[in-house]
Amino acid sequence: MAPLNSSYLVFYIAIAFALIFVLSFFILNRPVDHDKIKKIIYSRFIGAFLLGALPFIIVKFIGNEGNFYITTQYSLNRMIISLIVVIPFILFFNHALSQRPSHQRLYPIIRAHDWSINLYMMNLASWLLYLFAYESLFRGLLLFTSMEIYGVYVAIGINTLLYVIAHIPKGKFETLGAIPLGIAFCIVAIYTGTFVTAFILHFTMAVSNDIFCLNRNPDMKLSHHQHI
């Protein structure tokens, strides 16, 4: 893997981080209304661009030949085994949490009472793009580049710290939960040699949590109309 000019990486991540942090803080602290629902969806698409597309373009602009998203340790078998082992635990844990009224008051983040087909699909699509970009930056570019410069343990520490900070606007529950999750996602990415494993796990966690809470929340329901 070719060395990456870390000053470019640090500068970009700082700017992207600040934008996402401010965007999340103001959107999540708005009153629940139709406008807020659209802003949450749009913010995920914006986040996908800032955290996914732009870092990739910057790396190519710098002119590095290395692959900062998949390492030489990549193993499809390890990836499949990891997913088979971990996904059932995620589903079981989220299903159990969704039974708590306190959890239902927090999730899904989109607090619509009437979920149209379009809103349901836009929620899935926005999670898909946002988390793919999110993990490509955190457990791809940032993690693997940091490993080259600082070693495994420091790289995991830096990654987890930034991951925790990113969750501060989402409240105490997600901020504290980001500590073990951040470490776990790093370990899985390193073990399998690709951020894609962490992305699939993160996407499964976010979407299953939304689905379980939506189905159990008496104040929310699916409808057949088309508009968001």
Q: Which among 149, 222, 113, 139 is positioned nearest to 2, based on CA atoms?
A: 149
What is the reported pTM?
0.85
Is 227 among the domain residues?
no
Q: What confidence category does residue 190 fall into, taking pLDDT thresholds of 50, 70 and 90?
A: very high
The answer to whether residues 122 and 108 touch, using CB atoms and an 8 Å cutoff, is no
In a domain, 42, yes or no: yes
Query: Is it the case that residue 144 has pLDDT exceeding 50?
Result: yes
Rounded CA-CA distance 67/32 in Å is 42
Please, what is the end-to-end C-alpha distance for the chain in angstroms? 45
What is the pLDDT averaged over residues 127-141? 91
Residues 150-160: what's their mean pLDDT?
Answer: 92
Burial of 209 (0-12, 13-18, 19+ CB in 10 A): buried
Q: Which two tokens stand for residue 101?
A: 């009224």
pLDDT of res. 99? 94
Residue 39 lies in a domain: yes
Q: Which of 1-15, 133-147, 159-173 has the weakest average pLDDT? A: 1-15
What is the distance, to the nearest Å, from the Cα of residue 187 to the centroid of all Cα atoms in its chain? 16
Assign 73 to helix, strand or coil: coil
User: Where in the sequence is the domain holding 144, given as residue range(s)?
Assistant: 6-222
Domain count within the chain: 1
pLDDT score at 1: 46
Does residue 228 lie in a domain region? no
Q: Using CA atoms of 74, 76, 79, 85 in order, give the dihedral in degrees to the nearest 10.
A: -150
Q: What confidence tens digit (pLDDT) does each residue in 26-45 have?
A: 555 554 455 678 888 888 88
Contact 114, 223 (CB under 8 A): yes
The pLDDT value given to residue 228: 59
Other beta carbons within 10 angstroms of residue 226's beta carbon come to: 9
